[in-house]
Structures are given as C-alpha cells and as structure tokens.
C-alpha cells in the first residue's frame, strides 16, 4: 500500500497542502469559509488534470487534485 | 402631415429638414413652402394657442434649400406674445399668404437675426422663429411641445413609452419589440442589479414595470445606480427615486415601498415575468417557490466576489428564465437558499459594471422567453466568471 503523497492546491488564492486524492465540495467550501455547509456556493477549478483541466464542482461532487490546482469558491447572493 | 415623396426628397437633400422630422416636428412641404404644424404660442391674454408656421423656401435644383432670401414667416392666428402679454420682438403685419386651399396665412412675422443681417441658412431662420413663438407657451404651460408629430404618434401608438420607438423602426425590429406589449413584470429588489434591470426594461414596450423594495437610498447606493443621482435622493425610498427618474421615459412604472414576503406574496401571480434581484437567500427561495407555484417564469440574479492578492474575483450568476426551471434550480448552488455563513464578518463587494452585466444577462433571458431573441441553449443557469471572462451554462 503506497503512501499517499501531498500536493499544494490554491483555495481562494490561499495555498493548502492536501493529500493527492479526490477532494470533495464540502471539504473545499469548509476551507474557503469557516463553518460553510450546504449547497450555496459555486466552486470552480482551474489547472486540473489534463483530462479535466477546468470545470464546476457541484454540491456532493468530488474531483481529483493536482499540484498547483486552483479552486475559486463564492456564494452568489448579492444584487 | 402625410409623408409625401416631395417631403422625402426634401429631407434626403437637406439634413436640417431630416433632423426636425426626426425630432418629432409635424413638417409639411407644400407648393414650395415649408410648414411646421401645431406650434404653440400665447396670445395677448396669455391663453395657449397653436399656429401653423409657413416659411417660403428658396429652392435650387434637386430640392436643395438655398440661403433664405427674406426673413419673414407667415401664419393664421393672433399675434404671438411673451408671458408678460407684450408681443414677441418681431415686426408683424396683416398679410395674406396662400400655400394651398387648406393652408392660408393671414399674418406675417418679421424678425432679423442678431446684427440685422440676412439669415445664413434655413436652419437658423426656422430655429429662431420656433424659439420666439413657442418659448413663452412652453414656459407657461408644462407639457406643451412644438413637436406635434411626436404627440400625435404617442396618442395613436398606445405605448407607455414617452418617445416613439424610433430605434426599433430604424433597425427593422418593430414586430419583435411589440412582443413585449401588454405584459406586466415585477422587479423585486432595486439595489444595483434591480436598478440596471429597470434601466433596460424602461426602454421597452412593457405595459407595466412594478418595483418592490423597502430600502432607502444611501450614499453607497449612488455608486451602483445607472445614471447620476445625488444628495436630494438620499434617505428616500429606492423605488420612488427610480420611478421618478424613469417616468420621463416610460409611463408604466409602479413603485411599491414594500418588501415581498409571506404577507404580499400573492401579488406575484399577476405578473407575466418576475426579476428576483434580492440579496437575502431565504427571500429568494420563497419568491422563486411562489413564482413557480403561480406558473410565473422568473430570473434570479446574484453575484459573489472575493478579494485576492491580485484583485477581486468571483462569479455573476443568472438563473431561470423559463417555465419549470425552478425544479432544476431548487437545492442547487444556482439558487442559493441560505445566506453565506461568512456574511456576518465579511463584506461581499458589488461593483456597478457587474450589477449591469448581471442585469443585462437577466434581461436577455427574459427577451428570449418573449421571443425577441433566439435561443439555442436549454440552460437553466448562466455563470460569468469574472477573472476568466468566460460564461458557463448549467443544463
């Protein structure tokens, strides 16, 4: 059983060291905003894996991380 | 006046004639005379009267108008006066002028341009007489206009718009613009995005545009409204400030200084379309649900911006637009139902150009629903990524 390596990703422009595996919507919004739960945030990622460079991660979804991957997360309730 | 081929030829050769026709003056070209119908004036007792101003034209070949060889105009009626009852500063005499069987003048006016010289152009002459004759009446009677064609058009068009829709006519999209006629819409929430939605809708043929918001104008609000508002608006209800400003363009704007909640939710069923521009997630959820229940299509807008080391980034979201979209949006990130937990200690910035963009996408979706714009996508949400300048759609 090989040990899982760590990679550095950027979550809302802050570097985070995470295991090199899939990361969930819930984990990401919790990193971006303390105590954030639910399905109220839009999560987009950039510089992902070559077969999935960029996209939107839906609530309940997960995506494989890559070193240098960039996540941007905000609510969209202001008008 | 009927749009004769002669008048058309005159307008095509003389930009000034084209200009006054486009400005809504009721212009005739009859037996080599230019006639401007329905110019308001005051008689000696200060009563409002109208005259048809007759101006002989010096025509060259091909309908080109030469420099006027005299400085007189003619009309039928009383002597035009200023608000003090004194006649306007022109020479006047009884002098018959027959243009046609229907158009006969009985009086001449004579006013030379400053410096007692000859008029340089027909434009200078007409503008001077229009100002002399009609300014006192316009000053004394609000709403009086020398542009009779504009008035006639509006009376016959049955449109809430205060101007004839010359844009649609020019672009050849009248039948598309008219698809919005007789429809009633509501804008719920008149912050930055709601105000820009109004800015776009006020220039359409919608019969009624209802505004709902119980908030007042603050100084920071002034930075997120289209156009320029100032100190006199501070502390007044947003919906009233907007309605007062846009009533000059659209006669069907109805302000309601109230928040849409459980108590008045029933009114949503009266509308053909609802723009949800609120900044409170529980309200958004409630209003979207109510629209859905009443089978009223809606669009919901919202943005979220964060501050990073290189400036602001984030998303501008526009959701809905068609019947049945609520089922696809409900419970997803495209219809936030709970306020962000971090709102208490963190300001979420909003910037006017993103309010405007959000409003523009919302209005485009509405006009697609109305059949004004074509629609190929079947998406129920559109997300603009500010940092990336891309649009993603959710299907």
- B199-258 pLDDT, tens digit per residue, is 999 999 999 999 999 999 999 999 999 999 999 999 999 999 999 999 999 999 999 999
Is pLDDT larger for residue B90 or for residue A16?
A: A16
Q: Do A74 and B341 touch (CB under 8 A)?
A: no
Report pTM. Answer: 0.73
Is pLDDT larger for residue B152 or for residue B185?
A: B185
Q: What's residue B62's pLDDT?
A: 83
Residue B149 in this model has a pLDDT that exceeds 60: yes
Q: Which of B246, B296, B242 is nearest to B266 (CA)?
A: B296
Q: Do B342 and A33 touch (CB under 8 A)?
A: yes
Between CA B267 and CA A50 the distance in angstroms is 51
Task: For residues B269-273, give the mean pLDDT.
Answer: 97
Pairing outcome for strands B298-308 and B311-320: antiparallel
How is residue B261 written in tokens? 């909640």
Report the percentage of chain B scoring pLDDT > 90.
77
Residue B344 in this model has a pLDDT that exceeds 60: no
Between CA B273 and CA B271 the distance in angstroms is 5
Task: For residues B111-124, give the mean pLDDT.
Answer: 90
Q: Which of B189, B290, B280, B289 is nearest to B242 (CA)?
A: B189
Q: What's residue B1's pLDDT?
A: 44
Q: What's residue B100's pLDDT?
A: 87
- Closest Cα in chain B to A36: B341
CB-nearest to B277 from A41, A42, A79 is: A79
Mind telling me how many Å the CA of A1 is from chain B's nearest CA? 37
CB-nearest to A75 from B189, B340, B358 is: B340
**A30 in Cβ contact with A43 (< 8 Å):** no
Task: For residues B169-178, give the mean pLDDT.
Answer: 91
Q: Do B340 and A77 touch (CB under 8 A)?
A: yes
Please list every residue in chain B whose beta carbon sits closer than 8 Å to the beta carbon of residue A74.
304-306, 314-315, 348
Q: B196-201, long-range: CB within 8 Å, 24+ apart, which pairs?
A: B196/B226, B196/B355, B196/B356, B196/B358, B196/B359, B196/B360, B197/B275, B197/B277, B197/B301, B197/B359, B197/B362, B197/B363, B198/B242, B198/B246, B198/B253, B199/B226, B199/B227, B199/B246, B199/B359, B200/B359, B200/B360, B200/B363, B201/B250, B201/B363
Name the band, by pLDDT with cuts 50, 70 and 90, for residue B342: low
Q: Does A44 reach chain B within 8 Å, measured CB to CB?
A: yes
- Closest Cα in chain B to A60: B332
Mind telling me how many Å the CA of A32 is from chain B's nearest CA? 10
Task: Report CA B168 to chain centroid distance, whole Å.
Answer: 13
Please list every residue in chain A whose beta carbon sits closer than 8 Å to the beta carbon of residue B358.
79
Between CA B235 and CA B215 the distance in angstroms is 9
Q: Does A37 reach chain B within 8 Å, measured CB to CB?
A: yes
Q: Do B332 and A39 touch (CB under 8 A)?
A: yes
Between CA B135 and CA B84 the distance in angstroms is 13
**B176 in Cβ contact with B372 (< 8 Å):** yes
Return the residue in B286, B315, B382 with the most chain A beta carbons within 10 A, the one to mutate for interface testing: B315
Q: Do B315 and A35 touch (CB under 8 A)?
A: no
Q: Does B193 reach chain A within 8 Å, measured CB to CB?
A: yes
Mind telling me how many Å the CA of B376 is from chain A's nearest CA? 22
Residue B132 in this model has a pLDDT that exceeds 50: yes
Task: For residues B108-127, give the mean pLDDT.
Answer: 91
How is residue B262 written in tokens? 């459980």
Q: Kindly report the average pLDDT of chain B as a whole number.
A: 92
Alpha helices in chain A (DSSP H): 25-32
Task: For residues B3-19, give the mean pLDDT.
Answer: 87
Residue A76 parent element (H or E): none
Q: Do A58 and B314 touch (CB under 8 A)?
A: no
Q: Do A13 and B303 touch (CB under 8 A)?
A: no
Is pLDDT larger for residue B169 or for residue B354?
A: B354
Give A23-65 pLDDT, tens digit per residue.
999 999 999 998 888 999 999 999 999 999 999 999 999 999 9
């Amino acid at each position: 059983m090989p040990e899982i390596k760590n990679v550095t990703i950027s979550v809302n422009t802050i570097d985070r060291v995470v295991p090199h595996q899939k990361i969930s919507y819930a984990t990401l919004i919790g990193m971006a905003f303390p105590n954030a739960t639910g399905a109220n945030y839009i999560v987009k990622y950039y510089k992902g894996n070559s077969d999935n460079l960029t996209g939107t991660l839906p609530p309940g979804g997960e995506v494989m991380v890559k070193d240098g991957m960039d996540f941007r997360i905000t609510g969209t309730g202001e008008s | 006046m009927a749009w004769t081929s002669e008048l058309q030829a005159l307008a095509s050769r003389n930009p000034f004639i084209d200009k006054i026709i486009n400005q809504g003056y009721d212009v005739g070209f009859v037996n080599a005379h230019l006639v401007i119908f329905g110019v308001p004036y005051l008689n000696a007792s200060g009563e409002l009267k109208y005259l048809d101003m007759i101006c002989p034209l010096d025509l060259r070949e091909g309908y080109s108008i030469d420099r006027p060889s005299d400085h007189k105009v003619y009309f039928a009626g009383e002597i035009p006066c200023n608000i003090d009852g004194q006649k306007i500063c022109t020479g006047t005499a009884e002098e018959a002028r027959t243009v046609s069987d229907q158009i006969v003048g009985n009086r001449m006016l004579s006013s030379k341009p400053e410096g007692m010289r000859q008029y340089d152009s027909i434009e200078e002459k007409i503008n001077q007489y229009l100002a002399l004759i009609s300014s006192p009446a316009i000053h004394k009677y609000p709403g009086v206009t020398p542009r009779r064609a504009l008035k006639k058009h509006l009376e016959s068009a049955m449109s809430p718009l205060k101007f004839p829709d010359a844009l649609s006519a020019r672009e050849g999209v009248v039948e598309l613009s008219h698809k919005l006629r007789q429809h009633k819409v509501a804008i719920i929430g008149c912050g930055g995005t709601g105000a820009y939605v109004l800015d776009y809708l006020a220039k359409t043929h919608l019969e009624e545009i209802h505004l709902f918001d119980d908030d007042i104008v603050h100084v920071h609000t002034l930075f997120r409204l289209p156009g320029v508002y100032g100190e006199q608006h501070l502390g007044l209800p947003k919906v009233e400030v907007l309605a007062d400003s846009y009533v000059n363009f659209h006669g069907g704007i109805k302000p309601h200084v109230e928040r849409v909640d459980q108590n008045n939710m029933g009114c949503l069923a009266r509308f053909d379309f609802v723009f949800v521009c609120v900044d409170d997630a529980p309200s958004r959820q409630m209003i979207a649900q109510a629209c859905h229940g009443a089978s009223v299509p809606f669009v919901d807008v919202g943005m979220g911006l964060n501050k990073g080391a290189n400036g602001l980034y984030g998303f501008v979201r526009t959701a809905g637009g068609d019947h049945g979209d609520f089922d696809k949006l409900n419970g997803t990130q495209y219809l936030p139902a709970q306020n962000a937990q971090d709102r208490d200690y963190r300001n979420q910035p909003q910037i006017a150009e993103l309010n405007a963009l959000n409003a523009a996408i919302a209005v485009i979706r509405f006009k697609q629903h109305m059949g004004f714009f074509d629609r190929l996508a079947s998406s129920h949400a559109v997300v603009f990524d500010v940092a990336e300048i891309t649009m993603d759609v959710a299907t």
